[in-house]
Amino acid sequence: MSDWLAAIILGLVEGLTEFIPVSSTGHLLLLGHFMGFESTGKTFEVVIQLGAILAIISVYFQRLWTLAIRWPTDPGARHFILGLLIAFLPAAAAGVRLYPVIKGFLFETPLIICVALIVGGVLLLWLDRMKRAPRYLDVNTYPMRVYLFIGLFQCLALVPGVSRSGATIAGGLLLGTDKRSAAEFTFFLALPTMGGAVAWDLYKTWDQLDFTDVGLIAVGFATAFLTALLVVRFLLDFVSRHGFAPFAWWRIGVGVAGLALIAAGVGG
Mean predicted confidence (pLDDT) in 56-62 = 91
Report whether 232 contacts 55 (CB < 8 A).
yes
d(CA 186, CA 217): 24
Distances (CA, A) of 100 to 42, 94, 130, 268: 13, 11, 37, 21
Cβ-contact 166, 120 below 8 angstroms: yes
How is residue 161 annotated by DSSP? Answer: T
pLDDT one-digit tens code per residue, 23-38: 888 888 888 778 777 6
On whether the pTM is more than 0.85, the answer is yes
Q: In this structure, are residues 266 and 34 in contact, taking their beta carbons and an 8 Å threshold?
A: yes
In this prediction, residue 222 carries a pLDDT of 92
* Nearest residue to 185 (alpha-carbon basis) of 137, 229, 128: 137
Give residue 73's pLDDT band: very low, low, confident or very high (50, 70, 90).
very high
Q: Please, is 182 exposed, middle or buried when counting C-beta atoms within 10 Å of its C-beta (0-12, 13-18, 19+)? A: buried
pLDDT digits (tens, 9 = 90+) for 100-141: 888 778 877 889 999 999 999 999 999 888 887 889 999 999
Select from 185, 211, 236 the least CA-distant residue to 40: 211
Please give the helix or strand (H or E) that residue 38 lies within, else none: none
Per-residue model confidence as pLDDT tens digits over 132-170: 788 999 999 999 999 999 999 999 999 988 999 999 999
Tell me the percentage of the chain whose pLDDT exceeds 70: 93
